[in-house]
Structure 1
Amino acid sequence: MVDFIKINWKYLLGAALLHLLFAGLFALTMVQMSRDAPPPQLAIQAVVVDASQIGAASRRQERERERERQRVQQEREKAAIEQKQLEEQRETARLESERQAEQERQAESQRRQEEEQKRATEQQMMIERQDAERKRQAEVEQQKKAEAERQKKAEAERQRVAEIERKQKEEAQRRKAAEDARVQNAREEELRRQLAEEEGLRQAESAGLNNQYAALIQEQIERNWNRPPSARAGLECEIRVAQSPNGVVLSAQVGRCNGDAAVKQSIEAAVMRASPLPLPPDRRLFQRNLILMFKPSD
């Protein structure tokens, strides 16, 4: 009851003040009606005016009573509405109080569950940490044993590798001495071969074989040349030719030439058609890159 008064004291105070106001209004109405009553008159005068005055007074009193009944009815209706609102407010306050109590109960239950879950989690974490620590210590011991074994094997391997390296070094020195001797012999042999080739090349050039080789190429190119109308007498064109070891022409380009563009193009085409070029009488005269002077007969 005390909690209800604390929660709804404003509404209770308003209802009390409203009842006091109604009581005051009723008292003022009664005082006003007593003032409006006609003053006492002589009996003879009453006989003359009583009829009209009594009728007017009766109608006035009737109107006052009707207004009073309406006012009282309005006040009752208003009081009933206020009472209903007050009861609704009480019911709302009760439901709100019950809702808050339920929320507090649920919050307390949730808090307890969370605390229990927290304790269970902490206990599980402690067990896991202890297991992890035991596992770590076991791993440390295992690592120490493995490291000792590894160092033992590493030392044995180091000694084995050192012995192998010593033997390899001795073998490498022996092989190097043999290779140096072989290289020296090869160099001497290559030098003798080069000297012999140079001597043979000089002999071949002295015999005119180089000119014979150039003439063979000139003749084959000229046979494959389609002389353009713009070619004039005294034509001289330098040709750079790249060929494979079997004489296949890889490229042909006319350099210095006293002919026009059509002449140069016709000469390059003739060189390509002349492929493969004839090989030299002496193989030592062969060159991959040739510079030829094309001088067709007029």
Structure 2
Amino acid sequence: MGWMTTGWRRPDSYGFAVVVALIVHLLVAGLFLLQWPESKPRMAEPVPQHMIANVVQEENKAVKQRREKAEQQRQRKALAEKRRAQQQRQQQLAAKRKKEQQRREKLKQQQLAKQKAAAEKKRKAEAERLKQQQLAEQQAAEQKAQQQRQEQQRQEQQRLEQQMLRQLAQEQAAAELEAQRQAEIKAERAAATTLEHTALIRDRITSAWRYPPAVAAEMEVTVRLTLVPTGEVIQVQIINSSGHQGLDRSVEQAIHKASPLPVPNDIAVFEQNFRHLTMKFRPENASW
């Protein structure tokens, strides 16, 4: 049949074909039943060609209408899709233009901001330069004034130092004179004290000295005494012997017997002259 050869089908075309086929079969079955009682078999009459042609014509017309309707729907749908695509392109183009305009506006704002920032930076730099210049001038003036004050102070300090040096020199000279006078007095006193206590020590030792007989008057014994500030004798050393052992021993015995010896109370004189004392003894100075 004609609708079976077409490449495009819709579900409702199958229903119509089934209905037509069913009608044809019913007609054939009805004719067959009508002729069943006859003794002689009768050939079924074929369906008239004009009926089949009408059915086919009707079917082709319906198919054509459906195709036209489908084509119209397709065209409307394609037109709608085209319009939507155009609208989308127009919207995209408008969005692109808006975005480009926004970009240009933003770039313009950025350039204006940069120019404004550069101008502000230049203004601040100029203000800072003027400020630094004024500060430098002020510092230079202050430094100059300070140098003048320092120079005045230096001169005044130098004058005071010179005056102080002269005064110190005078005082030092007076102190040196006084120290020299005191040293001379102290030396005189130390010498007198030394002579006095040396004589006392000699008297104390000679009074305790008993030398042996058969010695010559010219025999001499030199001894070195080691004393402590209390006058105690802690060591006696024969420096030069008389050549007579008995005479030497008698001097040592006399010194230990006379200990403690009369030493001065002045510790400086003691340390200088009596810590280690060297003395000479001759028999002519001894008493029996």
TM-score range, shorter chain: 0.3 to 0.5
Q: Using structure 1 for the length normalisation, give the TM-score.
A: 0.41
Q: Using structure 2 for the length normalisation, give the TM-score.
A: 0.42
